[in-house]
Amino acid sequence: KLIRGEIQVNPLDNHFPPFQRHRRLRASGPLRSLLRETEVSVGDLILPMFVQEGLSGKEEIASMPGVYHFGLDNLRREVDELVQLGIPGIILFGIPLEKDDESSSAYAEKGIVQEAIRALKRDHPELLVMTDVCLCQYNPAGHCGIVRNGQIVNDDSLHLIAETALSHAAAGADIVAPSDMMDGRVAAIRQRLDAHHLENVSILSYAVKYASAFYGPFREAAHSTPAFGDRRTYQMDPANAREALREAASDVAEGADMLMVKPALSYLDVTQRIRERFDLPLATYNVSAEYSMVKAAAMQGWIDERAIVGEILTSFKRAGADFILTYHAKEFAQWQREVE
């Protein structure tokens, strides 16, 4: 009889059916690091930023601790820091002083986003400046397209959306990202940009955007809550995944350069399916409530924030995203610095 410790083992018991020793490859830190399949780096992250017309200084957004409304001067100062930290780019959201039915401050030559683009590109020519292209912050109805008789009309909205994208591109944006979910907007934007010799400006389409409660804190931040109804006649039903493939296929056909899935966390399956079906670069948007939930729990001391954020961001890359829009970008970059 074999004796192991105190336990007596019958030799017959040692004849286990064959099995795999997965633990062999987890035995040490260097080995785990060598075999890691996905890794998030600062270079994968884009920070969403809010720039507010007429604001001097900055104001923290109550439902998103650590995220601010910036006046233009403060935005520039903040972006200096981001560039120091190695963050490759930002996506700008504007909060205008005036809203009107035609959303005219969305495409005004001296609009707040247009001014911000010019200033940031002057300060940092290499910084990737992306813009959210949408009308909801710019009209009193708070809808992403034009409203007529209580309906959000598609084709008339396309002209204003294309005009907005053009004004961003003309101010120097590298990438325009339409988030309005009107049909045909990628085609309309591409045509308008090309007609103005802006063929090198790329389109990151919010191709798959769900009607989600996870945008709640953002709408407070952007003052863009719909005044009536909701966004379900243009944003997608969270229950649908095949529809996401149809939306993405249209945007690819219309000339999108990159695709995006939004929100990120509850839609990892969709990101994976888009990744498998299309070869375009793919992003995912880790939206406002996904950020706020982590922050709230972290502030209570209930979770290990750094570990949770690392795990969440890793899950997006594992699902197939090439890059991530996330409010955690700056802290993540700071944490990486501390580790180095």
Positions at the binding site for 5-aminolevulinate? 219, 231, 288, 327
Among 70, 107, 138, 215, the residue binding ligand PBG under the rule CB under 6 A is 215
- By CB under 6 A, is residue 179 in contact with ligand PBG? yes
Length of the chain measured in residues: 340
Cβ proximity to ligand PBG, 70 vs 218, nearer residue: 218
Task: Considering only the stretches 9-17, 70-78, 130-138, 242-250, report the one whose residues sit in contact with ligand PBG under the rule CB under 6 A.
Answer: 130-138
Complex with ligand PBG: residue 73 or 100, whichever CB lies closer: 100
Asked whether 193 and 166 are in contact (CB, 8 A), the reply is yes
Closest CA to 82 of 129, 115, 35: 129
Catalytic residue check, 1: no
Contact 200, 227 (CB under 8 A): no
Q: Does 247 bind ligand PBG (CB under 6 A)?
A: no
Return the residue nearest ligand PBG (CB atom).
218
- Between vectors from CA 147 to CA 141 and to CA 150, what angle results, nearest 5°? 90
Residue type, 183: D
Q: Is 209 annotated as catalytic?
A: yes
Binding mask 277-296 for ligand PBG (x = CB under 6 A): ----------xx--------
Beta bridge partners of 153: 146
Q: Least distance in Å: CB of 59 to ligand PBG?
A: 17
d(C-alpha 157, C-alpha 185), whole Å:
9
Size of the site for ligand PBG (CB under 6 A): 11
Binding range to ligand PBG, per CB under 6 A, among 38-46, 78-86, 128-136, 313-321:
128-136
Contact 264, 311 (CB under 8 A): no
What is the distance between the alpha carbons of residues 172 and 174, in angstroms, rounded to a whole number? Answer: 6
At its nearest, how many Å lie between ligand PBG and the CB of residue 264?
A: 10
Known binding-site residues for Mg(2+) equal 247
Instruction: Write out the binding residues.
Output: 134, 136, 144, 219, 231, 247, 288, 327
List helix spans (H) across 234-304: 242-254, 268-277, 288-299
Active-site residues, by number, are 209, 262
